[in-house]
Structure 1
Amino acid sequence: MTRYPADRLHEEVAYLAYHFHWAYQEIMRLDHRERQRWVTEVARLNRRLNEQGGDRP
């Protein structure tokens, strides 16, 4: 079994905490796949907003 890189975990926690204002404990309660899914969705939304010039949908 391979461990998930600590640096990557910290990036995901910081990313979700920044965008959702979730507490560390809330984020760490998410399983790995769910946390990655949230990171992917936030990134997708950010890309879409950036492509639209920062306007909210």
Structure 2
Amino acid sequence: MRAPVSFGGSRGGGVLSSYPVDRLYEEVAFIAYYLHWTHDDIMAMDHRERQRWCEEVSRIHRKVSKEPKNIFDIR
């Protein structure tokens, strides 16, 4: 796994000190693939907002595909 990325959150009320780069790429690719948003739009989101969009897309994907899990299931 690659080294974590450090950045501060502006909308989430806290600062995220580090986050694995591989996970960041997964989230960005997931949102871009399903929602067709630009890299800049996705990267403008803080971690919690990106994660929430991944959860919502996953929820819809489960409902439509009848798959019980996918890579962004948190629970």
Structure 2 residues without counterparts, runs of 5 or longer:
1-15, 67-75
| CA distance in structure 1 between the aligned counterparts of 2:46 and 2:17, rounded to whole angstroms | 16
Q: Which residue of 1 aligns with 2:36?
A: 21
Structure 1 residues without counterparts, runs of 5 or longer:
52-57
Q: Which residue of 2 aligns with 1:38?
A: 53
Q: Which has the higher strand share?
A: 2
Aligned length: 52
TM-score by length of 1: 0.84
Q: Secondary structure at the match of 1:22?
A: coil
Aligned CA-pair RMSD:
1.6
Q: Which of 65, 69, 75 matches 1:50?
A: 65
Q: Which residue of 1 aligns with 2:20?
A: 5
Q: Which has the higher helix share?
A: 1
Q: Percent identity?
A: 53
Alpha-carbon distance, 1:3 to partner: 1.2
Runs of 4+ aligned structure 1 residues displaced above 3 Å come to none
